[in-house]
Amino acid sequence: MSEGTDGREYDPGKLDLAVGGQAVIEGVMMRSPTAIATAVRTPGGRIVVRKKPFRSIMKRLPWLNVPLLRGGIHLLESMSIGIAALMYSADQALEDDRVAEEKKGARDTVMMWGTIVLAFALSLGLFFYLPLLITDLIGVEHSIWFNVVDGVIRIAMFVLYLKLISRMKDMARVFEYHGAEHMSIHAFENERELTIEQTRPFTTLHPRCGTSFLFFVMLIALVVFSFLGRPETIGERLLRLAFIPVIGGLAYEVIKLSGRFKDAAWLRPLIWPGLMLQKITTSRPDDSQLEVGLAALKAVLTPEAEGFREKTYFELAPAPAAETGTD
């Protein structure tokens, strides 16, 4: 374990790469094309950072990096990375002034993939098959209108779900760290110095966000399923499962497009609904939360020596007084 980074500087203006991430328990995970870093605020007030090298499977197997196919691959890869980061942050959030021992081994791998499978199963049940059941009970007969009503119910249930979990105290903290993640990335993308003062003015909304991705999945599903007609049999309902990877792939391409041309006027109507949903899933962080987001971002941007494997360290800077940033 080292106490801090190796001190090498980076120039944001010279880094042409996409950085993404997610909020975790009392922290933020950031990912660049070469590294993953998870920064967590411990109960003792310090920030512990774990940094690992990263190379996407689509870099290792370039034939996977093709439109439509890469969306599903990216989703699975992101889920596995995200759940691992959540498990790590849960361990760290319970620690006081020390780094927990890593829990490595086959059991943890099984737990992680078991969580992914369970998450998929619950999502399919709640957001795909329950809307079908409700639409059946309503008695909509016309094929196109059946799928329109099914899609509208699905989106409404998704929004209601987000509103309900946003009222949970623990999730409110996660949504604040989600805001810190987006604000930190905005500062980097606008070539600002990665300090709290330079990051504070930015919005918590970002077009290249998982919330927007899920909205696009549901919107595209409405269109795609309309071509399949009204599902009458169990087989026809199960057939919709086969289209989930295609729908996810299309949503991924839309997200990539919206991130690349986020200032284009012609894309704003497409981006707007996802940004409005982010008003539920992100909140203004305080300065101590911004510090955590910036710590994770700086970690993935800091170059490492050849052969770097993994390191965990504490940030040396003390936590600033918590005060809410203003627009």
Is residue 296 within 8 A of residue 229, CB to CB? The reply is no
The kind and range of the H/E element at 104 are none
User: Mind listing the pLDDT tens digit for each residue in 146-192?
Assistant: 999 999 999 999 999 999 999 988 899 999 999 999 999 999 999 99
**If you average pLDDT over every residue of the chain, what do you get?**
83
What b/e readout covers 296-321, taking b as 16+ CB neighbours within 10 angstroms? Answer: bbbbbbbebeeeeeebbbbbeeebee
SS3 229: coil
Residue 72's pLDDT band, with cuts at 50, 70 and 90, is confident
Is residue 215 within 8 A of residue 224, CB to CB? The reply is no
The whole-number pLDDT of residue 95 equals 62
The dihedrals phi and psi of 320, each to the nearest 5 degrees, come to -75, 165
CA dihedral 127, 130, 135, 136 (to 10 degrees): 150
The whole-number pLDDT of residue 263 equals 76
Is residue 169 within 8 A of residue 153, CB to CB? The reply is no
Cα separation values, 40 from 1, 177, 266, 319, Å: 16, 10, 39, 12
Angle at 294 between CA 88 and CA 252, to 5 degrees: 70
The percent of residues above 90 in pLDDT, for the chain, comes to 42
Cβ count near 218 (within 10 Å) = 21
Separation CA 54–CA 56 (nearest Å) = 6
pTM: 0.84
User: Mind listing the pLDDT tens digit for each residue in 40-49?
Assistant: 999 988 999 9
Structure tokens at 151: 């899609």
